[in-house]
Amino acid sequence: MTEQSILIKNVRPFAQGSWQNEQNMLLGNDSKNAKEIDGSKCLALPALFAIGADFQEPARDDVYSFADGIEAMRRGGFYGCLYESNANPIDDLPQLTSFKQICEKSKLDFALLASFSKANEHNNISEMLELTNGGAHGFGDGGILPENMRFLRMVFEYGKATGKTFYFHPLELSLKNFGVVHEGLYSDTIGFKGIPEQAETIPVYRILEFARWFDVPVHLREISCQKSLELVAQAKTNGLNVTCDVGIYHLLFDDSALLNLSSEFRFNSPLRSAKDKEALWNGLLNGTVQYISCNHFPVLKQEKQTNFEDACPGAVSLEIALSALWQITAEKTSGHPERLLNWLGAKKLGLEKPENLILFNPDLEWEVSENTFAGSVCNSPLLGKKLKGKIIGTYLGKEWR
């Protein structure tokens, strides 16, 4: 693809710790033939890096394709992605090679998580050293924590030799016990089986204990409750190499949203209490939490438009993450929404001559529609809602969209 040169006029970049005055920005090298874009009232933001995405192809290409996922990333301003396929696990070298070839064609940057067990079944350990040598970024649990503690211990013991970070979704299935929402006032009110916070905090403790014993770096995904963050903060104080993320929708909603019985609010990690939601924000502000996860997981309409208990958990968010979080971040940070950029994985805030850029109008109000999303699915609780702040264009992989 031919490199496009773009001249954005009258745009405000963020540089040297503050927003700069309006100026012209040239993207590319051909100033003479550059396409001119009006950047008035817009900010020039660094492109983002998505934590948490699964496009499900080819195992579920009836739902979504990798091409759909790439388009979603471009619409949302993501130059790259930490990718783990739960439906189609990367558990051997040929599979890893195949995924790398697909990613290279996209012109975007992917960090691939391999599975530490064959087929994500937690019975046999994958060839982690071979996968490491093949370029795996790290290792994941396939979205389900091993129930067999002996097997989990073996994963840490063998995995230590790779030097890689291990990614876990801390949810104890025996304690979840077919629950679908947070165990509390609202689960009692609507009559749904609840998931206690111990279903998360107990596996968090186990993971951190193994990480301490074997000195293996770990990342905890989709942390949803205050008690888990307290365990993480204590582990950091004790010198453990541990990071974590929280989901975009867990920052926007709490379990009171369940009163409308919409299955769009069904997630693998349930929406917790208002107190827990506030704790997640505090975790971001004080550094206990490093990233906001998009948890981008496409679901067919017919698998969502059913009763809450039978609905498939998950939501898409890549296309709307920046807009959905910009204003609330400004409120939580007393007027510093740019902090969101680091939480969404931007590498740097200096934009004198950026390689990847988002043109963003923070004051433009718009409504999320089905056309907002790439592909044929639009499972999001923000569908039909109005947001303030809109992406006007993106420059990713030397291509303006």
Higher pLDDT, residue 325 or 311: 325
How many other CB atoms are there within 10 angstroms of residue 203's CB atom?
24
Q: Is residue 401 part of a domain?
A: no
Element at 195 (helix H, strand E): strand 194-195
Asked whether residue 263 is assigned to any structural domain, the reply reads yes
Residue 6 lies in a domain: no
Q: Which pLDDT score is estimated for 4? A: 77
Residue 87 domain flag = yes
pLDDT at 85: 86
In a domain, 356, yes or no: no
Q: What span, in angstroms and rounded, lies between the C-alpha atoms of 244 and 144?
A: 16
In a domain, 100, yes or no: yes
Decide if pLDDT at 68 tops 60.
Answer: yes
Q: What is the mean pLDDT of residues 274-287?
A: 97
Query: So what's the pLDDT on residue 58?
Result: 67
Residue 350 lies in a domain: no
The residue that leads in pLDDT, 325 or 104, is 325
Q: Residue 61: its pLDDT value, please?
A: 66
Domain count, the chain: 1
What are 115-160's pLDDT values in tens digits?
Answer: 999 999 999 999 999 999 999 999 999 988 999 999 999 999 999 9
- pLDDT reported for residue 300: 86
For 332-378, what is each residue's pLDDT tens digit? Answer: 999 999 999 999 987 655 444 457 899 999 999 999 999 999 988 89
Is the per-residue pLDDT at 305 higher than 60? yes
Mean pLDDT throughout 21-48? 89
Residue 60: predicted pLDDT? 67
* Residue 77 within any structural domain of the chain: yes
Alpha-carbon distances, residue 269 vs 200, 213, 382, 392 (angstroms): 9, 27, 18, 32
Across 39-56, average pLDDT: 91
**What is the pLDDT averaged over residues 44-70?**
85
The angle at the Cα of 131, spanning 130 to 132, to the nearest 5 degrees, equals 90
Judged by phi (left if over 0) then psi (alpha if -120 to 50, else beta), residue 82 lies in beta
Report the chain's mean pLDDT, rounded to a whole number: 91
Share of the chain above pLDDT 90, in %: 73
Whether residue 371 contacts residue 83, with contact meaning beta carbons closer than 8 Å, is answered with no
Quick one: angle between helices 274-286 and 321-332, nearest 10?
80
Nearest-5° angle of CA 12, CA 382, CA 321? 35
Which range marks the domain in which residue 312 is found?
A: 46-335
Q: Tell me, what CATH number does 204's domain have? A: 3.20.20.140
Indicate whether this model's pTM tops 0.75: yes
Q: What is the pLDDT of residues 185-244, one digit of tens each?
A: 999 999 999 999 999 999 999 999 999 999 999 999 999 999 999 999 999 999 999 999
Assigned token pair, 383: 């569908």
Query: Max CA-CA distance within the chain?
Result: 66
